[in-house]
Structure formats: C-alpha cells, structure tokens
C-alpha cells in the first residue's frame, strides 16, 4: 500500500476492525466484478461503511 503517513492510523484501524467473515464476503463479491474501477468502488464502499460503524460505536 502506498499512502501518506497521516492515513496510516486510519488504515490500520480499518484493517483491525475487519473480521475474517467480512473480508471473505468482500472477496466473494469482488471476484464477480469485471473491472478494476468496479473493484475500487466496492472496496471504497466497504471501507467507508466500516469507518461509519466505528464512529457510531464511539458515539
């Protein structure tokens, strides 16, 4: 992964917050996609969903 140093803590938190079953579900869905753009969009949606869940739990 290539990213700015500022992004590292958020990425690490997202990885830690992801369960194996969530990751497996994401992989299953991604395998059905035809383009890299579709994969990027689905992964972004997944990551933003996890971030939103974490924020809700903190509130």
For residue 37, pLDDT over 70 is answered with: yes
Q: pTM surpassing 0.85?
A: no
Torsion sign across C-alpha atoms 39, 21, 59, 16: negative
Give me the mean pLDDT over the 11-22 stretch: 89
Question: Average pLDDT, stretch 10-31?
Answer: 92
Q: Where are the domains of the chain?
A: 5-58
pLDDT, position 1: 62
Averaged pLDDT for residues 34-58:
87
- 18 by Cβ neighbours in 10 Å (0-12 / 13-18 / 19+) ranks as middle
């Amino acid at each position: 992964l290539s990213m700015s140093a500022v992004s590292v803590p958020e990425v690490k938190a997202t990885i830690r917050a992801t369960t194996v079953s969530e990751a497996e579900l994401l992989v299953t869905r991604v395998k059905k996609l035809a383009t890299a753009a579709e994969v990027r969009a689905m992964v972004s949606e997944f990551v933003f969903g996890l971030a939103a869940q974490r924020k809700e739990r903190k509130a």
